[in-house]
Amino acid sequence: MSSRQRVDHQPAFVLHAYPYSETSLLVEAYTRAHGRLPLVAKGARRQGSALRGALLAFQPLTFAWSGRGEVRTLVRCDWQGGHPLPRGQALLCGFYLNELLLRLLPREDPHELLFDHYAQAVARLAAGAASAPVLRAFERRLLQELGYAVALERDAASGAAIEPDGTYRYEPERGPIPVLPGAAGGDPLLLKGRVLLALARDDYADAATAAAARDLMRALIDHRLDRQTLHSRTVFRALQDL
Amino acid sequence: MKPVNAVDELIEALRCLPGVGPKSAQRMAFHLLQHDPAGAQRLGAALARALASVRRCARCNTFTEEEVCALCASPKRDPSALCIVETPADLATMEQTMAYRGHYFVLMGRLSPLDGVGPHEIGLDRLLARATDGAVKEVVLATNFTNEGEATAHYIGEMLRDRGLRITRIARGIPVGGELEYVDAGTLAQAFYERRPA
Ligand SMILES: [Zn+2]
């Protein structure tokens, strides 16, 4: 067995980067075949380093790295392009996607389909697409890949098709359970069938349905976050109050 | 706990500097004690004095010893322009250009949602008050061209929109004297996406 391992040409994104030493960065990389892993980019903080401009989140890259153990060394980073960087509010949405991956996706747990979905979500945000369908679809795909698929078309009690006007309570570990219509009282897990069907179709034309869908997905994500708060959500709310 | 002697304490204290690990800290400490006690004396006194007297400029938020810094107090600066930068180092670099003669506001940071740095942490409420003082006509957004700097520029622009101000963003692209053949693909691509009528 060789003592050093080298991986080449891995499609990758930077999720976040932190200063590691005066001249290097610690990059939280998200790669297609190796999942999320930390890489040290030596010299990336040096003035004039070619890595410095390339190691930005939201642009498709390929990485090569070597080494074993906890932290490996980035030996090559190639810019792939394909779309401009997201701008404005789309950037905040991108930070949110990155934080979801950083908090929920275990390290070195590759999900190639999720990677492709992430790349597509970033490209859509960069192209100026409406953010709600992009975010809801990514949240659903992430939960599904982590083994918590969100049931949207059949109720979890009888398997009957979801009725648009029916009232359901979404139990995070089971799915939607029909309940008697009553006071909703601001519980994001208590909702009309049409909200589930809108999520299944990615149709957020109706503002009230879109808000209920967002709140349901937020509650389901929170359930998996186990009381961690998402910084990007807090910052987003503070920005909206400006 | 092991007893801390003065040399160890100095080494430990030097490690608060960015990029200084245990080895460099030890080298610095031995250098100061062995070869340059006068330099060490000056360093200690300068640190103590700076800590006691340096504060934030009431107008632009940069470091100063006065209530208002020399640049903000200067009658030669154009009061109708306000340039927003992330750090005092960025302000100094902008000054070197000699292209800009207005005032500044130093954020002392940038929005960084993943690190929990939001609008309050970078004093956007103070910026709002400064930019809407009646004298400012143009706000120049000169935050970095990182995703965090771009997000910061965007939200400051949104915050100041509809307040009768001209909001501009510094341009990015090919370096001066740059030949396309030698420019990295990412920079050239972004310059293409942001091309302008000629
Ligand atoms: Zn000042």
Burial class (CB in 10 A: 0-12, 13-18, 19+), B74: exposed
Q: Do A94 and B147 touch (CB under 8 A)?
A: yes
Q: Where do the domains of chain A lie, and which CATH numbers do they carry?
A: 6-79 (2.40.50.140)
> Is it the case that residue A189 has pLDDT exceeding 80?
yes
Q: Check pLDDT > 50 for residue A3.
A: no
Chain A CB contacts of B151 below 8 Å: 91-92, 95
- Contact between A156 and A177 (Cβ < 8 Å): yes
Q: Is the pLDDT of residue A158 over 90?
A: yes
Single out the residue of A16, A72, A67, A18 nearest to residue A45, CA to CA: A18
A chain contacts of residue B117, beta-carbon cutoff 8 Å? 235
* Residue ranges of chain A whose CB lies within 8 Å of a chain B CB: 16, 19, 21-23, 50, 53-54, 56-59, 79, 81, 84-89, 91-92, 94-96, 98-99, 102, 231-232, 234-236, 238-239, 242
- How confident is the model over A19-25, as a mean pLDDT? 85
ipTM of the complex: 0.90
Paired sense of beta strands A72-79 and A35-41, if any: parallel
Q: Give tens-digit pLDDT for B52-81.
A: 999 999 999 999 999 999 999 999 999 999
Asked if residues A41 and A76 have their Cβ atoms less than 8 Å apart, the reply is: no
Model confidence at B32, pLDDT cuts 50, 70, 90, reads very high
Residue A183's pLDDT is 62
Task: Name the percent of chain B lying above pLDDT 70.
Answer: 98
A54/B119 CB distance under 8 A: no
B86 token code pair:
């992330």
The answer to whether the Cβ–Cβ distance between A232 and B155 falls below 8 Å is no
Q: How confident is the model at residue B2 (pLDDT cuts 50, 70, 90)?
A: low
Taking only the tens place, the pLDDT of each residue in A32-83 is 999 999 999 999 888 878 887 889 999 999 999 998 877 899 999 999 989 9
Task: Kindly state the DSSP code that residue B114 receives in the 8-state scheme.
Answer: G
CB contact (8 A) between residue A58 and residue B189: no
Residue of A nearest to B24 (CA): A22
pTM for the structure as a whole: 0.89
